[in-house]
């Protein structure tokens, strides 16, 4: 029974990367333009915490990587004063099966958004950019593997953010 669960989990993880890789496309980088920084919110499920991956460590990796990439970090108060309400949410989820752990990391940029077809409709929050990473490995390698995955996903976000905010960036209509 446990072997079948592990095989099923492995098959799901093999299928997911093709359908859940993320929304890091040139056409949506414009949604990051002029945001003015991000507030970072991380979450980690109990299985990750029990396996030794703490939410505080994940928060530190995210903030360090963003600062090294020169993406401005906002405090909660700064984020709430920003019209875009820019919040970068990083979620780490683990599934443990004896000595094997599957993990999933999602990075989502949440912002206040307004409908283009009716500018009177605005939402306080919507996902405008996201990327995901996942892996499967042993309990002993989980901290290192997840830290690398978190860093890679944040580097992907940082590259998109910096591209959207570079002085040479073309307007959104130039990408169509």
Tell me whether residue 137 is in a domain: yes
Lookup result for tokens 């396996």: 51
Domain membership flag for residue 163: yes
Residue 121 lies in a domain: yes
Q: Residue-wise pLDDT tens for the chain (176 aa)?
A: 554 555 445 544 444 443 344 455 665 677 899 999 999 999 999 999 988 899 999 999 999 999 999 999 999 999 999 999 999 999 999 998 877 899 999 999 999 887 778 777 777 788 989 999 999 988 888 889 999 999 999 999 999 999 999 875 555 544 43
What pLDDT score does 56 carry? 96
CA atoms within 13 A on the CB side of 116: 0
Would residue 92 count as lying in a domain?
yes
Whether this prediction's pTM lies above 0.85 is answered by no
Cα(88)–Cα(78) distance, integer angstroms: 14
pLDDT of residue 81: 95
Cα(6)–Cα(101) distance, integer angstroms:
10
In a domain, 134, yes or no: yes
Residue 105: strand pairing partners: 92, 133
pLDDT score recorded for residue 107: 96
Q: Per the domain annotation, does 50 fall within a domain? A: yes
Angle among Cα 122, 30, 120 to the nearest 5 degrees reads 15
Q: What pLDDT, on the 0 to 100 scale, is given for residue 27? A: 56
How long a stretch of residues is the chain?
Answer: 176
Query: Residue 176: inside a domain, yes or no?
Result: no
Q: Which domain holds residue 83?
A: 2-167
Q: Is residue 173 part of a domain?
A: no
**What is the distance between the alpha carbons of residues 106 and 119, in angstroms, rounded to a whole number?**
30
Tally of domains in the chain: 1
Residue 15's pLDDT is what? 45
């Amino acid at each position: 029974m446990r072997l079948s669960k592990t095989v099923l989990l492995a098959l799901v993880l093999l299928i997911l990367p093709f359908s859940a890789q993320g929304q890091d496309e040139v056409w949506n980088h414009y949604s990051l333009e002029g945001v003015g920084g991000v507030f970072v919110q991380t979450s980690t499920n109990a299985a990750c915490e029990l396996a030794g991956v703490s939410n505080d460590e994940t928060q530190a990796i995210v903030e360090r990587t963003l600062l090294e990439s020169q993406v401005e970090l906002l405090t909660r108060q700064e984020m709430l004063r920003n019209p875009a309400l820019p919040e970068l949410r990083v979620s780490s989820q683990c599934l443990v099966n004896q000595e094997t752990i599957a993990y999933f990391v999602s990075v989502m940029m949440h912002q206040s958004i307004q409908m283009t077809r009716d500018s009177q409709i605005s939402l306080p929050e919507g996902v405008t950019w996201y990327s995901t990473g996942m892996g499967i490995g042993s309990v002993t390698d989980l901290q290192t593997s997840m830290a690398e995955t978190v860093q890679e996903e944040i580097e992907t976000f940082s590259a998109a953010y910096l591209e959207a905010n570079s002085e040479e960036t073309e307007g959104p209509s130039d990408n169509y």
